[in-house]
């Protein structure tokens, strides 16, 4: 079964050559959903009839005129905080169980226009925060590499769904690591683009100034194909950037000789020391980049704790503001974990928030200086392999700092790619962050790494069962 899962790029080539039918591909994905999702819980809502109708329409259009692009006929999932016209969008919350949007979010609209086939809405933490929660209308997603383990979140269903081949790609959102964390623990690729590159319109907020929308897929190349459809100015999003959109796949395959990659050693060696398996993956990745001709340098910035404090104070406040009305009137209807996060808003004063926003400007300037002349920086995405799902601490916010928040605070693009497997047999990952709006270079580096390593050849064992 695992050998039957193509990447988006492979499927697109086969579809264009009329060697693969979008209907057949969609049915294969749905078969896997029916077989595995009772255990994985990657979906909160399936759109099976619509998927088959879209696949048939794609097939007819491709037969008549050829594909309109590489996403035509490709089965995807949308995180359930993404508005979808006529399809329930619950944000995994009791508040929105009957919510059926009348319009699509910008990202849903763009992927539909590119010809994708929507398999369903994927599992998220409630309003993309907290979790894993067991007191929500639907259970949390499970890690396909070992279903006793966590996927990370909050884009947990998209991560699990891609890894298990239920979909070939999907949408995640990332406020402090919610694309890159699940990508890392589920062994796939996920890119948080530069802030403003992909419209947030129609996506429920977690924290307005830290929220990013981005693709998750099996490979960096697939992320590039999806990003091509997603990127672009949107006046409905006040933070949307008005910039020319480059070709995100044009540089793939051109190698990385001469590119300069900085390693932020202190993030994963001192500020939050990673597991041996994760460290081995990082060390081997640095050697791989060197072998591929990249120049490796050391980079130092403020400790992770500073970035986390800044991002967390902003995030806590913006989230508390977004959901204040329900916090004041229906607090008991939130999940225990999200309720606890929302209560923290009472402790952050307006001055605390502004001091964090002033600190944000300083940290961003610091990263800009540290990355001068570099094409990317490298660190961990997660500290270790996935923990057991019942062993995830509720107050991880006050534990060791995460590795992903710095690039939400700075708004810089960052991608997670699989860098091997740890002692428990679950995936480990590296994180690469690039210069603002230079996603083509970042994707080029990630693609070169995936091509030079064997980790894209292995899928979760449950697919072979």
Question: Which residue ranges make up the site for another protein (CB under 8 A)?
Answer: 209, 242, 305-306, 308-310, 312-313, 316, 320, 324, 327-328, 331, 339-340, 343-349, 352, 354-362, 364, 395, 397-398
Pick the catalytic residue from 21, 133, 154, 156.
154
DSSP run (H or E) holding 457:
none
Query: CB of residue 198 vs another protein: minimum separation in angstroms?
Result: 17
- Euclidean distance between CA atoms 405 and 385, whole angstroms: 19
Phi, psi of 118 (to 5 degrees): -85, 115
Told to judge if 79 belongs to the known catalytic residues of this protein, a careful annotator would answer yes
Find, among 239, 236, 240, 155, the residue nearest to 201 by Cα: 236
Which C-beta is closer to another protein: that of 31 or that of 324? 324
- Euclidean distance between CA atoms 223 and 273, whole angstroms: 29
Query: CB of residue 314 vs another protein: minimum separation in angstroms?
Result: 9
CA distances in angstroms from 398 to 175, 182, 312, listed in the order given: 17, 20, 10
Told to judge if 178 belongs to the known catalytic residues of this protein, a careful annotator would answer yes
**Which tokens go with 52?**
């088959």
Query: CB of residue 319 vs another protein: minimum separation in angstroms?
Result: 13
Pick the catalytic residue from 93, 155, 156, 178.
178
Query: CB of residue 241 vs another protein: minimum separation in angstroms?
Result: 8
User: Helices (H), strands (E): how many in the chain?
Assistant: 15, 11
What number of other Cβ atoms are within 10 A of residue 191's Cβ? 33
- Euclidean distance between CA atoms 382 and 282, whole angstroms: 11
Cβ neighbours of residue 333 closer than 8 Å, sequence gap 6 or more: 93, 94, 95, 326
Query: CB of residue 387 vs another protein: minimum separation in angstroms?
Result: 20
Which C-beta is closer to another protein: that of 248 or that of 353? 353
Beta strands in 105-195 (DSSP E): 117-122, 169-174, 189-192
DSSP run (H or E) holding 247:
none
- Contact in structure between 274 and 285 (CB atoms under 8 Å): no
- Euclidean distance between CA atoms 404 and 256, whole angstroms: 24
Which C-beta is closer to another protein: that of 179 or that of 320? 320
Which C-beta is closer to another protein: that of 76 or that of 314? 314
- Euclidean distance between CA atoms 25 and 80, whole angstroms: 23
Pick the catalytic residue from 79, 110, 121, 192.
79
CA distances in angstroms from 69 to 15, 111, 126, 226, 430, listed in the order given: 10, 11, 34, 11, 30
Which C-beta is closer to another protein: that of 294 or that of 344? 344
CA distances in angstroms from 77 to 121, 122, 172, 397, listed in the order given: 6, 6, 9, 28
Which C-beta is closer to another protein: that of 14 or that of 309? 309
- Euclidean distance between CA atoms 113 and 406, whole angstroms: 33
DSSP state letters, 292-354: TT-EEEE---S-HHHHHHHHHHHHHHHHHHHTHHHHHH-GGGS-HHHHHHHHGGGG--HHHHH
Phi, psi of 169 (to 5 degrees): -165, 170
Just list the catalytic residues.
79, 154, 178
């Amino acid at each position: 079964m695992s050998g039957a899962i193509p990447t988006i790029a492979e499927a697109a080539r086969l579809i264009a050559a009329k060697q693969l039918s979008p209907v057949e591909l969609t049915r294969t994905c749905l078969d896997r959903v029916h077989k595995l999702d009772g255990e994985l819980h990657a979906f909160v809502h399936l759109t099976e009839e619509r998927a088959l109708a879209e696949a048939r329409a794609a097939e007819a259009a491709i037969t008549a005129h050829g594909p309109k692009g590489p996403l035509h006929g490709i089965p995807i999932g949308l995180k359930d905080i993404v508005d979808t016209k006529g399809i329930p969008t619950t944000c995994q919350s009791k508040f929105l169980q009957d919510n059926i949007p009348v319009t699509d979010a910008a990202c849903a609209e763009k992927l539909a226009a590119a010809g994708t086939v929507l398999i369903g809405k994927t599992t998220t933490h409630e309003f993309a925060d907290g979790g894993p929660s067991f007191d929500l209308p639907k259970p949390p997603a499970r890690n396909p590499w070992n279903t006793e383990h966590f996927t990370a979140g909050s884009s947990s269903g998209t991560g699990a769904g891609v890894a298990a081949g239920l979909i070939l790609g999907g949408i995640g959102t990332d406020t402090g690591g919610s694309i890159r964390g699940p990508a890392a623990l589920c062994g796939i690729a996920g890119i948080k683009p530069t802030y403003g590159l992909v419209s947030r319109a129609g996506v429920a907020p977690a924290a307005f100034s830290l929220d990013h929308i981005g693709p998750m897929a099996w490979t960096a190349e697939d992320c590039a194909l999806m990003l091509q459809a997603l990127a672009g100015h949107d006046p409905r999003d006040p933070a949307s950037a008005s910039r020319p959109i480059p070709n995100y796949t044009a540089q793939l395959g051109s190698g990385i000789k001469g590119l300069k990659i900085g390693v932020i050693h202190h993030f994963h060696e001192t500020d939050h020391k990673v597991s041996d398996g994760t460290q081995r993956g990082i060390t081997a990745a640095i050697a791989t980049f060197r072998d591929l001709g990249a120049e490796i340098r050391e980079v130092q910035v403020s400790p992770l704790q500073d970035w986390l404090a800044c991002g967390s104070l902003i995030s806590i406040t913006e989230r508390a503001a977004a959901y204040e009305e329900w916090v004041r009137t229906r607090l008991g209807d939130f999940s225990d974990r999200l309720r606890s996060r929302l209560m923290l808003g009472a402790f952050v004063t307006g001055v605390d928030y502004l001091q964090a926003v002033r600190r944000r400007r300083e940290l961003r300037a610091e990263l800009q200086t540290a990355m001068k002349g570099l094409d990317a920086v490298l660190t961990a995405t997660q500290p270790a392999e996935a923990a057991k799902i019942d062993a995830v601490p509720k107050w991880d916010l006050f534990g060791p700092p995460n590795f992903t928040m710095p690039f939400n605070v700075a708004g810089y693009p960052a991608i997670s790619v699989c860098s091997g497997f740890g002692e428990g047999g679950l995936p480990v990952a590296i994180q690469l962050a690039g210069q603002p709006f230079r996603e083509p270079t970042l994707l080029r580096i990630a693609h070169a790494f995936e091509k030079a390593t064997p980790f894209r050849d292995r899928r979760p064992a449950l697919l072979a069962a």
